[in-house]
């Protein structure tokens, strides 16, 4: 319905933003599927995937919202980038839940990403920090599939020992701080306060 209204009012910038998001989300999903099979994802590829799969959607929502309220280019650019950074930070935090949460608290199955052979930021950092042999052993366990409780416990311990959780948390916090700084150009309001306190 929203797209129909955009067409009726010749708001083609809305359609362009939405089309771009659909393209990015599709490309991100395909890239993740490929890398899950190959198990060779690095940090740059990880950010490409979560940027396309998650951040693109939030960024587009922010962009369309800002375009509906102003024609000021800087305001639109800042709030669009804000959405991108929020999306990245959100996905990192969501991925962290695989290592620190319990199903009965948040409803997300424990170690679900690992079982699906999804290599996320905490593990990427741990694999990069560990010795080549240790990293190869961990990847071998994941590639084999059918992870048992002992396997999961071993991988979780490996990620913690290599500082993967703290590293991912630090990346998330840096993204949030960058996002909040982008809001400084806007005047104080209940809306700005809501965005800054969103985290």
| Per-residue pLDDT tens over the stretch 18-66 | 889 999 999 999 998 888 888 889 999 999 999 999 999 999 999 999 9
Buried/exposed 19-48: b ≥16 CB within 10 Å, e otherwise: eebeebbeebeebbeebbeeeebeeebbbb
Q: What is the 8-class DSSP label of residue 186?
A: S
**Is 15 or 70 the better-scoring residue by pLDDT?**
70
Say whether pLDDT at 69 is over 70. yes
């Amino acid at each position: 319905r929203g797209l129909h209204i955009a067409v009726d009012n010749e708001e083609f910038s809305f359609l362009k933003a939405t089309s771009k998001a659909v393209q990015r989300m599709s490309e991100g999903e395909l890239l993740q599927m490929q890398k899950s099979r190959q198990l060779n994802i690095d940090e740059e590829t990880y950010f490409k995937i979560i940027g396309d799969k998650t951040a693109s959607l939030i960024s587009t929502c922010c962009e369309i919202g800002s375009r509906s309220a102003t024609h000021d280019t800087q305001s639109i650019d800042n709030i669009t980038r804000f959405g991108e950074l929020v999306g990245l930070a959100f996905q990192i935090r969501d991925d962290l839940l695989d290592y620190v949460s319990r199903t009965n608290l948040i409803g997300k199955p424990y170690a679900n990403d690992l079982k699906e052979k999804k290599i996320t930021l905490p593990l990427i950092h741990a694999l990069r920090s560990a010795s080549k042999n240790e990293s190869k052993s961990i990847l071998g366990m994941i590639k084999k599939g059918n992870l048992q409780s002992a396997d999961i416990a071993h991988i979780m311990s490996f990620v913690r020992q290599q500082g993967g959780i703290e590293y991912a948390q630090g990346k998330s916090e840096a993204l949030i701080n960058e996002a909040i700084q982008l809001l400084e150009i806007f005047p104080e309001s209940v809306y700005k306060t809501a965005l800054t306190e969103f985290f």
